[in-house]
Amino acid sequence: MEVDYNVVLQIFFAGLVSFILVFMSIPTILKVSYSKNLFDEPGRRRVHKQKVPTLGGLGIFFGILFTYSVYLDWFDYQAIPYLIPALLIIFSIGIKDDILVTAPIMKLMGQIAAALIIVGLGDLRITDFHGFFGLTPDYFGSLAFSLLFVVFIVNGFNLIDGVDGLAAVTGIVTLMGFSFWFYINGEVILPVLGAIVTGALLAFLYFNVFSRSQKIFMGDTGSLLIGFIVAVFAIRFMEYNVDALAPAHRYTMKSAPAVALAILIVPVIDTIRVFFLRLSRGHSPFAADKTHIHHRMLTLGFSHIQIAVVLAVVNVLFILMAYCLRDFGTIRLLILVLVLGLAVFHLPSLGIRYRLRKMKRQKNLRR
């Protein structure tokens, strides 16, 4: 694979500009948050014990939007249709929820509206199931499935944003997983956008994880933005690998939906697992609880950064496996990724059960 150093420099500087913008903007956002008393209060379902500003997503949005807009004009890149208007809607519902708290139905309606813009007006749709049971969706089936997919991924990222660094690190890993495939096939705009978002998230991570005096959360603004952009990457990734376009690529892939699942393993498997757990207990799948994998890992004694790193390593291993088996067949690879994913994500629960049994045995021995 030949390296185009001009493209590499464009990608690097895209990430650098975004990083600098976010790094410089967050201290100002923190000052405003403290002056206006805009905090996330500690509570029963919160894992933090002190007030923390929640407007980190504002800085992330600013860095992404400004850098992406400059690159489109400066390098004459072909824009992803209607991406900016859709992101503005996601930003609006996220920032309102971070400041005033928004009813869940209103958040869902906003997500559907943003998805309609990018899927309906922008025609960014899943038009091929890659041989999955021989199914080929018509226009309305494609539209409906794409809308559900976007909303699901957006909420998946929103749900994993429960400990410091997890949503940001997961966003970086997933975007790099998608961007690498576009880059080695000669595509530029998506790797550049991936670098822009990665740079913004790296700057945010400094304040979210490592800074003690300037700590900030990304809030719903940040997690919804990441989820939406990742959903766009995933759809483009699957559409980029349809059979009709394969001959024009340097590298081919027959199992794109399964590989996409592997790249998105953390938000997808955690959301599926939690929903089924709640339903099995007779609860609403949307009822808040502490059954997410990061909650389980906290119970086992993992720190926030350890959780983010462990799940990032798991994510990378799934990506490497899927890339190696990219021509294994969509259904077979989907089953393999799903079974392995559910098994791996169930390990913390098994660890908690083992610990409880051990404690019970020790109590019995003391008697």
Span 169-212, pLDDT tens digits = 999 999 999 999 999 998 889 999 999 999 999 999 999 998 88
Q: What is the pLDDT of residue 47?
A: 55
Q: What is the pLDDT of residue 41?
A: 62
Q: What is the pLDDT of residue 289?
A: 74
Q: Is residue 4 over pLDDT 90? A: no
| Stretch 61-82: mean pLDDT | 86
- Structure tokens of 171? 């966003």
Q: Please, which pLDDT band fits residue 237 given cuts at 50, 70 and 90?
A: very high
Span 245-295, pLDDT tens digits = 777 778 888 899 999 999 999 999 999 998 888 888 877 676 777 888 999
Q: What is the pLDDT of residue 42?
A: 61
Position 113, amino acid: A
Q: Is residue 151 over pLDDT 60? A: yes
Instruction: Give a three-class secondary structure readout of the chain.
Output: CCCCHHHHHHHHHHHHHHHHHHHHHHHHHHHHHHHHCCEECCCCCCCCCCCEECCHHHHHHHHHHHHHHHHHHHCCCCCCCCHHHHHHHHHHHHHHHHHCCCCHHHHHHHHHHHHHHHHHHCCCCCCCCCCHHHCCCCHHHHHHHHHHHHHHHHHHHHHHCCCCCHHHHHHHHHHHHHHHHHHHCCCCHHHHHHHHHHHHHHHHHHHHHHCCCCCCCCHHHHHHHHHHHHHHHHHHHHHHCCCCCHHHCCCCCCCHHHHHHHHCHHHHHHHHHHHHHHHHCCCCCCCCCCCCHHHHHHHCCCCHHHHHHHHHHHHHHHHHHHHHCCCCCHHHHHHHHHHHHHHHHHHHHHHHHHHHHHHHHHHHHHC
Q: What is the pLDDT of residue 38?
A: 76
Q: What is the pLDDT of residue 363?
A: 75
Residues in contact with 28: Cβ distance below 8 Å, sequence separation at least 6, in sequence order: none
pTM value is 0.93
Q: Determine the Cα angle at 84 with ends 178 and 166, to 5°.
A: 45
| Stretch 114-122: mean pLDDT | 95
Domain tally for the chain? Answer: 1
Span 333-345, pLDDT tens digits = 999 999 999 999 9
**Percent residues over pLDDT 70 in the chain:** 94
**Exposed/middle/buried for residue 51 (C-beta within 10 Å: 0-12, 13-18, 19+):** middle
Q: Please, which pLDDT band fits residue 162 given cuts at 50, 70 and 90?
A: confident
Mean pLDDT of the chain: 89
Q: Is residue 366 over pLDDT 90? A: no
Span 345-361, pLDDT tens digits = 999 988 988 888 888 88
- Structure tokens of 21? 């913008």
Q: Is residue 49 over pLDDT 70? A: no
Q: What is the pLDDT of residue 44?
A: 53
Q: What is the pLDDT of residue 325?
A: 95
| Stretch 91-112: mean pLDDT | 90
Query: Long-range contact list for 358-361, CB < 8 A, 24+ apart?
Result: none
Domain range for 97: 5-366
Q: Is residue 45 over pLDDT 60? A: no
| Stretch 157-174: mean pLDDT | 94
Alpha carbons 251 and 327: distance in angstroms, whole number: 11
Q: What is the pLDDT of residue 359?
A: 81
Other C-beta atoms closer than 10 Å to the C-beta of 56 total: 32
Q: Is residue 130 over pLDDT 80? A: no
- Kindly write down the DSSP assignment for every residue of 245-299, as one continuous string: TGGGSSS--S-HHHHHHHHTHHHHHHHHHHHHHHHHTT--TTS--S-SHHHHHHH
Q: Determine the Cα angle at 270 with ends 269 and 271, to 5°.
A: 90
Yes or no: say if 255 and 263 are a contact pair by the CB < 8 Å rule.
no
Yes or no: say if 197 and 127 are a contact pair by the CB < 8 Å rule.
no
Q: What is the pLDDT of residue 52?
A: 87
| Stretch 288-312: mean pLDDT | 91
Alpha carbons 301 and 365: distance in angstroms, whole number: 25
| Stretch 166-170: mean pLDDT | 96
Which of residues 129 and 196 earns the better pLDDT score?
Answer: 196
| Stretch 60-64: mean pLDDT | 96
Residues in contact with 111: Cβ distance below 8 Å, sequence separation at least 6, in sequence order: 90, 93, 150, 151, 154, 155, 224, 228
| Stretch 214-219: mean pLDDT | 92
Q: What is the pLDDT of residue 225?
A: 97
